[in-house]
A and B are shown apart, each in its own frame.
Chain A
Amino acid sequence: MSGRLVYLDNNATTCVAPEVRDAMLPFFTELWGNPSSMHAFGGRVARHVEEARALVAALLGADPSEIVFTSCGTESDNAAIYGTAEMFGPQAKIVTSRVEHPAVLGSCRHFQEHGHAVVELAVDGQGQLDLAGLRAAVHGGPCLVSLMWANNETGVVFPMEEIGRIVKSAGGVLHTDAVQAVGKLPVDVRRVPVDLLALSGHKLHAPKGIGALFIRRGTRLKTYMIGGHQEHGRRGGTENVPYIVGLGAAAGLAAKHLAEEQTRVARLRDRLEAGLLATCPDSRVNGDTRHRLPNTTNMSFEFIEGEAILYHLSDQGICASSGSACSSGSLEPSHVIRAMGVPFTAAHGSIRFSLSRYNTDADVDHVLAVMPGIVARLRAMSPFVPR
């Protein structure tokens, strides 16, 4: 393996920004007090927690009182779904989609086993949501809708404003898993009528182990983590102060770099995608390219298998991921790729490249230099390639 690391797996996790790390360090050394304490030493720490809350709120266009810190995106999703389902009881219907993250799909299926009616909406070949299905599903009684803002595997962005209008006009509660969207797209809860929104720190250059849940004022939610009065009683447990401060710093940076995501990062992604389509025959892009995260491309290379591609890429210092069966550890390709009806010839060879603001043109050049050779090499040993 060459010494160089080309990291194109930012939808899996991101590097911790140096500014974030620097912001966190004092909270491991001198500022270790408990923010709930009734002394100035703890009170100083509490101020930093509130500053972080304000930064996260600002990134979303929310009020700081609407932000609850959690341990990760999965906890935020669980809290939203659990808290709403428990509040309404089993008569509440739950509407979600087939392409959600397991944190959401798994939670919904859990409540299905406990008597809730659950509707899993389909997506089309482009990964776009069946809005007619949503309109039909939200009528008739209390309802929780959980739909992702952007898909982790394909980057496809759902029309959240329209989804919000549909759900709110039917009187439903809307939760969105915005883990992939926050920091990459403008996310503004003043414009988009979501009630609950989950985000994760390590997808936007904060460390792993910190997330947040936006709870719109007035949203009724049963507390899922019972303990002290922290987070206004909405999540017990002493605050993870260094990581909360880190998330705040990352949110501030994300707001500053949001325009760059839409322009420079998107251009890098587009150059990578166009270059691969041009140099690798029988390749295609999966998902709706008109409504997509600026950093993500999900491509299929036919007749070859994703894990084999990833191992060869890794040998060249390139980190990406795949929706193939083998790399997912199961025996079937990813549920997202299958829900989109991508043919098997292409599903097993799907590769996701996800960029960040730390990527450069040189990174793209390196992938463009090695990928055609890897594809040709694996095709040369595939029994399916027409000769």
Chain B
Amino acid sequence: MWDYTDKVLDHFRNPRNVGRVENADGTGTVGSLACGDALTLTFKLDKQGRIADVKFQTFGCASAIASSSALTEMVKGKTLAEAEKITNRDIAAFLGGLPEQKMHCSVMGREALEVAIHNYRTGETTVKHLEEKIVCTCFGVSENEILRVIRENGLTAADEVTNYCKAGGGCGGCRPQIEDLLARVKAEREALRPAAAAPRRLTNLQRMKLIEEIVARDIRPALQRDRGDVELVDVDGNRVTIAFRGMCAGCQVSEFTRRDFIEAKLRESVAPDITVVEEGKA
């Protein structure tokens, strides 16, 4: 048997909001009998534009039913703008997690919600476009759908893509294309990395907290391994005052420790203009 959480089993055994909302404002159907699971989500908005009523019908396994039930509980009372922010990870987290091979059930929930909202706004019954490129013909999964699960879930291997959206789980003929898409997202992530590392504007409070954290987490344990230690005495703007303790106090090379290790580490992790001075020496 699958290692389902109690919450998954509860939502499977006692599914919430089963059925179809009468005169629904939005309807979303994803999946098919051939694929082995399918979900129809219907919702109605109240005057404030919040989801007042929502129901589901699901053909699928225990985790597909539980994911659908969880989704209805999560979106109830939300505006469409709020509901749209729900990711498949949120659905899985709501259930206390899903087995890796069952993550596609959470993706099916997110997709049905997306289609239902799109249906409310445009009257269309699908978010897929004719010109969209289908990568997995066994399960009808498009390039955009695959890219989305890779990006939203930080996937790095083709097997994971199969677990999350079924692509590649049939004949396996599209696995090289899935590998290409994984490589494309990996390249995107790498291109973004320097931007993420760009200097952040920190408030004084944030800077002090971060310095404290780095000293406690990265610097002191390294010195303590050699029976040395350091104490953070003061932070004044970008000027950090320290005091050496243990074997570091009076060590011949503590000047190098100050400059090449502590100052370098804080410049790398906090701000490039930090200076570190030893108490009583500046």
Contact = CB atoms under 8 A, between A and B. Distances in A.
Interface stretch (A22-30, A92-100, A327-335): A327-335
Interface stretch (B53-61, B80-88, B265-273): B53-61
Interface stretch (B37-45, B181-189, B230-238, B240-248): B37-45
A238 interface: no
B13 A383 contact: no
A67 interface: no
Contact of B169 (A303, A332, A345, A382): A332
Which of the listed residues B33, B64, B170 has the most CB atoms from chain A within 10 Å of its own CB?
Answer: B33
Nearest to B31: A383
B18 A305 contact: no
B15 A326 contact: no
B33 A384 contact: yes
Given A307-B62, A327-B61, A383 B36 contact: no
Contact of A305 (B64, B138, B139): B64
Contact of B60 (A326, A330, A380): A326
A308 B12 contact: yes
A324 B34 CA distance: 11
B237 to A, nearest CB: 58
B169 A330 contact: yes
B75 interface: no
A297 B267 CA distance: 71
A348 interface: yes
B59 A331 contact: no
A331 B12 contact: no
B139 A381 contact: no
Interface in B239-257: none
Contacts of A325: 36
Contacts of A380: 18
Given A308-B60, A331-B170, A383 B39 contact: yes
Contacts of B170: 331-332
Nearest to A346: B33
B258 interface: no
Interface string A323-359: 0111101111100000000001100100000000000
B39 A348 contact: no
Contacts of B18: 380-381
Nearest to B162: A331
Chain B CB within 10 A, most for which of A303, A308, A314, A384: A308
A304 B13 contact: no
A344 B57 contact: no
A162 interface: no
Interface in B96-123: 101-102
Contacts, number: 77
A361 interface: no
B169 A383 contact: no
Contacts of B67: none
A104 B169 CA distance: 22
A315 interface: yes
A130 B40 CA distance: 41
Contacts of A308: 12, 60-62, 64-65
A384 B60 CA distance: 11
Contacts of A224: none
Given A304-B59, A381-B65, A345 B12 contact: no
Contact of B15 (A305, A314, A381, A384): A381
A311 interface: yes
Contacts of A333: 36
Interface in A248-269: none
Nearest to A311: B62
Nearest to B36: A325
Nearest to A333: B36
Contacts of B60: 305, 308, 326
A95 B133 CA distance: 39
A305 B37 contact: yes
Contacts of A303: 33, 59
Given A307-B62, A308-B62, A311-B9, 18 more contacts: A304-B59, A305-B59, A305-B64, A307-B61, A315-B13, A326-B36, A326-B62, A331-B139, A331-B162, A332-B36, A332-B138, A344-B36, A348-B33, A380-B18, A383-B39, A383-B40, A384-B33, A384-B38
30 contacts: A303-B33, A304-B59, A305-B36, A305-B37, A305-B61, A306-B61, A307-B61, A307-B62, A308-B12, A308-B62, A308-B65, A311-B1, A311-B62, A315-B13, A324-B61, A326-B36, A326-B62, A326-B102, A329-B101, A331-B162, A331-B169, A332-B36, A332-B169, A332-B170, A344-B34, A380-B18, A382-B59, A383-B39, A383-B59, A384-B33
Nearest 5 interchain pairs by C-beta: A331-B169, A326-B61, A307-B61, A383-B57, A383-B40
